[in-house]
Amino acid sequence: MTSQPGMSDVILGCVVPYIDDPKDRDAVSLVCRRWYELDALTRKHITIALCYTTSPDRLRRRFRHLESLKLKGKPRAAMFNLIPEDWGGYVTPWVNEIAENFNCLRSVHFRRMIVKDSDLEVLARSRGKVLQVLKLDKCSGFSTDGLLQVGRMCRQLRTLFLEESSIIEKDGQWLHELAVNNSVLMTLNFYMTDLVKVSFEDLELIARNCRNLASVKISDCEILDLVGFFRAASVLEEFCGGSFNDQPERYTVVSFPPRLCRLGLTYMGKNEMPIVFPFASLLKKLDLLYALLDTEDHCSLIQRCPNLEVLETRNVIGDRGLEVLARSCKRLKRLRIERGADEHGMEDEEGVVSQRGLMALAQGCLELEYLAVYVSDITNASLQYIGTYSKNLCDFRLVLLDREDRITDLPLDNGVRDLLRGCEKLRRFALYLRPGGLTDVGLGYIGQYSPKVRWMLLGYVGGSDAGILEFSKGCPSLQKLEVRGCCFSEHALAASVMQLTSLRYLWVQGYRASKSGCDLFAMARPFWNIELIPARRIVMTDHVGEADVVEDPAHILAYYSLAGPRADFPETVIPLDPLAAGVEL
Amino acid sequence: MSRATVELDFFGMEKANSSKSQFQKFIDRRRSFRGIQGAISKMNPELIKSVISSGSTNRSPVDWRKSFSVPSSPKEDRSSPVPSLPILNPALRASSEDSRETAPVTIFYNGTVSVFNVTRDKAESIFKLAVEGSSKNVESTDSLKVANPSRDQRNLLETRNGDLPIARNKSLQRFLEKRKER
């Protein structure tokens, strides 16, 4: 050890591993070469927000000893069926690199990516002995055969997460393999996957073998068949899924594990709801997104849950349900209210959320950190309430539904401004309105008053190019921007990108295209990839086989990348190559 | 024999029509279907039949104004009346029109149905009024800086959100479809 001014390597080596926050680590790595190398040796986790921004090779060269990796592929819009299935985001090159070189990797999380059975086999064979966490999160392209390999060879798995993935189901063998080979499983999740060939006996076996099983989320499986499972899973804290196909009275025999505090029962109706009452006061998290409750049922259930911290439901909760929530659930931290059915008669008449519910919520639930809501009506005052009371809000998302012609109080310029000024911790922000919902002045306010916001979704806001140009003078922290249905020209979008100092990712659908698409070249620059998904006509068939032709407007996707343009474009995606077009950078 | 007709374009069949009317592409097919379903479901079926049959027959000496009133279904929280359907596409087809010849216009508003026999000019003024009326509701008092006014106005009328309906989360979409089958 040389004596030199500053910290010795030994001390540095002891201190740096305690630094976990990615932004802190980023700062550490920029100090000098020595610190860069120490960070590279000791960094435990990396999230790559878009897999095409770098390459497996680069990752390996810098972070050879990585223990945990999260990779994201398709744009977020894929969750709403807006992105072609074959858009990209293949895990194969990453899995191959992992198999070959990442010897310390114990946790792998792929989100919105395309995974093949062969990828799963390679991963299981090469890392099976050490892999503890495998998350295939909203992925597609694989079948239960791939999962069979995982069940067979990854015997150290603590977490197997498959939520919302599209999986080709051949049989239920994979769950059986998992059941007979694993005794350390803590989290099992195949919620929202439509896997129906799994057997409840295997679930029961897992519960008996895995003494630490704390969280289980499954697909549709008759609750009465799970009585044995619930009895065996003695330390279970979280359960979601199942289904109710029998007479309500029969469910009185179901007895839930004593520590259960996070719950979501699919297709639970008014008559089955009482089975939750005995332990409702213990509940910290309630998922009613896929339940069959009306407004009154919501009121009846929520008032029994004074310890609720997380609630997810549809707008059938209504303003009245929100008022009950505000009175009863003082510890509420996260609230998500999704959009229910549009057709008449499918949801409760009372099931609309408006300014009335929001104002009650803001005043009653002062610890709120996350709020995402689809509203049918809105006022500036209700947004001002949120700015005044919701001081802990980090993530706010509002969508104004399009059923009502008249909205009480538009535009929302002042309300949005006051919300942004009041919620000083805001990091994520989404506002989806309609023409006239927010003027250019309002859009300027968003730019001016969101100093810490890193992600934004803006839909149908502003009135002209002036709006987005004013907006982009602000937002100093904005890294990821999604824009939908706005009236901005290509030229204004490109100019805005150049003004947003932190922007590294842009997604746009619905804009004023130029005749040639060339106005986008105003944002051409080194390391900036620009991709277009041209307007398409998609034939969508619903569940009764009725076909409908849907016009899907063009998308723009642009992002910084160290890896150059990607090499795996499907037909539906077109890269914009400024060099080929003769544009000078 | 041709006559001036003002037709209700229930299924958006006139999307590609060659009419030079300024109200050409009024409404998206899906939205009009959904909206009509909503309005019709609140009305007496006999009433609907009589309205539709009266619209298709060729009546000359007819009542100047035949109005069928249907009580609105009770809705909570409605301080101001909400039009259940905007006026639909007036496909003015006939090539030779007698300017004094009248044709029926059927208007659905807030749970009531009214049928009027009007001349083509009168029909266009009614539509103009309706357009101005609905766009006034949406424009703000601190004037919207609209770069391309005619396109924005057309957007307000097409669907609430132009060509892009609010997309739904995949899992929720599947759940809502499965629920219908239960």
**Chain B nearest CA to A543, separation (Å):** 7
Which tens digits make up the pLDDT trace of A136-192? 999 999 999 999 999 999 999 999 999 999 999 999 999 999 999 999 999 999 999
Distance CA B139, CA A264 (A): 43
The alpha carbons of chain A give a radius of gyration, in whole angstroms, of 25
The partner residue sitting opposite A338, judged by closest CB among B134, B167, B169, is B169
Residues A483, A506: Cα–Cα separation, whole Å: 8
Please classify residue A63 by burial: count the beta carbons closer than 10 Å to its beta carbon, then call 0-12 exposed, 13-18 middle and 19+ buried.
buried
Taking only residues 16 to 55 of chain B, the set having a beta carbon closer than 8 angstroms to any beta carbon of chain A reads 30, 34, 37-38, 41
* Chain B interface includes A344 (CB < 8 A): yes
pLDDT tens digits along A292-336: 999 999 999 999 999 999 999 999 999 999 999 999 999 999 999
Residue B163 sits at the chain A interface (C-beta within 8 Å): yes
Torsion A92-A94-A97-A99 (CA) sign: negative
Distance, C-alpha A585 to centroid of its chain: 35
Q: What is the pLDDT of residue B108?
A: 67
Given an 8 Å threshold on Cβ–Cβ distance, is B156 in contact with A436? yes
**B 58-87 residues with CB < 8 A to A:** 76-77, 79-80, 82-83, 86
pLDDT at A349 over 90: no
- pLDDT tens for chain B, 182 residues long, are 444 444 445 454 544 444 444 343 443 444 444 444 444 444 455 554 555 455 444 443 333 334 333 333 343 333 444 333 333 333 333 334 445 677 777 776 666 566 777 787 777 777 777 766 665 544 433 333 333 333 333 333 334 555 678 888 899 999 999 988 87
ipTM: 0.91
Q: Hey, of B110, B153, B172, B179, which one would you mutate to test binding to chain A, going by the most A CBs within 10 A of its CB?
A: B172
A10, HSE (Cβ side, Cα atoms, 13 Å):
4
Across all residues in chain A, what is the average pLDDT?
94
Tokens of A206: 């897992």
- Record the pTM: 0.78
pLDDT value of position A310:
98
pLDDT value at A363 more than 60 = yes
- If one compares A31 and B70, the residue with the highest pLDDT of the two is A31
Q: A85 — contact with chain B (CB < 8 Å)? A: no
Give the residue among A160, A145, A240, A129 at the shortest CA–CA distance from A197: A145
pLDDT of residue A305: 98
